[in-house]
A and B are shown apart, each in its own frame.
Chain A
Amino acid sequence: MTLTHEPSASASADELPAFPMARECPFSPPRAYRQMREERPVAPVRLWNGNKAWLVTRFDDVRKILADKRISNNITHPGFPVLYAARAAVMQQHGKPPYFHFMDPPEHTEHRRMFTQDFSVIRVKELEEEIQSIVDELIDEMLAGADRSADYVKAIALPIPTRVIARILGFPYADVAELQGMMNATSGFGQDPEVAKRSYTRLNDYVSELIARKEANPSTDTISRLISDQLHPGNIDRPGLIRVILFLLIVGHETTTSMIALGTLMLLEHDEQREKLIKDPSLMQNAVEELLRYLSIVHLTTCRVAIEDIEIGGETIKAGEGVVALVSSANRDASQFENPDVLDIERDARTHVAFGFGVHQCLGQTLARLELRITLNSILRRIPTLKLAQPIDDLKFKAYINGVQSMTVAW
């Protein structure tokens, strides 16, 4: 693409490059991001509905804009950059921010704090043994399967985080598979907006019944606590509670699934790095940060709308205009990470923005880190001969949250 340096006002929206942009390499952000970082770090683009939005591509600017109090995450604001039709359809049904992720402080702070206790460093540490035994059990099952080969997504990457988040929230394990099917149908670029809406309604009904059951028979899980501490005193209404529980269920598993699958794939494709980790498992904590940085799988959700004019990167984002803070670009910014396109599990990658930045930074990051560390360590230790058993070019990728649909491995 060509980048013009004229003021954006002179170009009408339909002359602008389209966003989202296609990737040339499934493991690298679109090549255009690099050019933007160098030449026009805050650049206008056109969305599917013809609206203009601004891309922010540099590490410092991405952190700055996401922590700026003059941006809003209110997805129902007319200027909010919604990236595809199915998402717009689901969001329009709500009419107001459906759960805390799309609220702004102080409302956001109040609602997010209903959940912070469940994902604190101390509480997550208490889950370590339980997560380890879920991982061990699933590895046992995979190894017991036929012909020393399996779909890694189905056997490992999807069930681990799904079981963990279902356990934290208090979903009956028997219902998890069915829920997964319904959740898949609510998201994705290619999804028919009508199918997305219907699936969302079915999910809603399921959670509504679950809440009713837990009201009748309380236990020690998160949903029971939310009913007594938040629903009954009136801090959140019933539809709001249903929506936020569904949101946590979805974000709690989809992202981590992708990271487990692609993280494993990266290690399988980098022999030297994998050997180092097998020799010295204490490198894993660092390796997880580097994999998060390198893959930046949640690369399109950090969209915002300016509520006041904001000067950044030599441009003025006007009140009411959309902004996309490209964390995948920030994580490949050479001014912060030397040789950013190289995977190096020994580099210090801790400052990455793969979990976002600002008040919406990932609530589940401590949990995600632990799940990744335990899973990757256990896989390398127990199946050191694991390899990809299909041509890498044939993998089918997912676009919105970067990931793979399936991945045949053998050992």
Chain B
Amino acid sequence: MRVVVNTSTCVGGGQCASSAETVFTQDDQGLVVLLKADVQGEEAEAARLAAFLCPSRSITVEE
């Protein structure tokens, strides 16, 4: 599964980094940073949850 993030709409609340910590982190401004674009198994599950939780819809996943 492929993960894409859009930093221009990110509001930095950190839902992604706390729900899928091996896939997302935040930079020194608090904005999303993608650690891994291709994820499988448990990480894909966590990334899917992060995409659902992201309040600004800045995360998309492509199967």
Contact = CB atoms under 8 A, between A and B. Distances in A.
Interface of A: 66-67, 105, 109, 112-113, 116-124, 350-351, 355-363, 365-366, 369
Contact of A362 (B13, B26, B29, B52): B13
A120 B55 contact: no
B56 A116 contact: no
B12 to A, nearest CB: 3
B11 A116 contact: yes
A121 B29 contact: no
A116 B29 contact: yes
Contacts of A365: 13-15
B25 interface: yes
Contacts of B31: 113, 116
Across the A-B interface, give the 3 residue pairs with the lowest CB-CB distance, nearest first: A116-B30, A116-B12, A361-B55
B49 interface: yes
Contacts of A356: 55
Given A109-B11, A358-B55, A366-B14, A119 B30 contact: yes
B18 A67 contact: no
Contact of A351 (B9, B29, B52, B57): B52
B56 A67 contact: yes
Interface of B: 9, 11-15, 17-19, 21, 25-26, 28-31, 49, 52-53, 55-57
A360 B12 CA distance: 10
Contacts of B28: 117
A190 B35 CA distance: 49
Given A120-B12, A122-B26, A365-B13, A358 B18 contact: no
B12 A358 contact: no
Nearest to A123: B30
Contact of A113 (B18, B25, B29): B29
Contacts of B53: 350-351
A2 B29 CA distance: 50
| Best-surrounded residue of B13, B14, B19, B28 (most CB of chain A within 10 A) | B13
Given A120-B17, A121-B17, A360-B55, 13 more contacts: A67-B55, A67-B56, A67-B57, A112-B12, A113-B30, A117-B30, A120-B26, A120-B30, A121-B18, A122-B26, A361-B15, A363-B11, A363-B12
A105 B25 CA distance: 23
Contact of B18 (A112, A361, A366): A366
Nearest to B49: A350
Nearest to A119: B30
B25 A361 contact: no
Contacts of A120: 12, 14, 17, 26, 30
Nearest to B8: A109
A364 to B, nearest CB: 9
Pick from B15, B17, B31, B49 the residue with the most CB of A within 10 Å.
B15
A369 B14 CA distance: 12
Contacts of B15: 361, 365
A356 B11 CA distance: 13
29 contacts: A67-B55, A109-B9, A109-B11, A112-B11, A112-B12, A113-B12, A113-B30, A116-B11, A116-B12, A116-B26, A116-B30, A117-B30, A120-B12, A120-B14, A121-B14, A121-B18, A121-B26, A122-B25, A124-B14, A350-B53, A355-B13, A357-B55, A360-B55, A361-B11, A362-B13, A363-B13, A365-B15, A366-B13, A369-B18
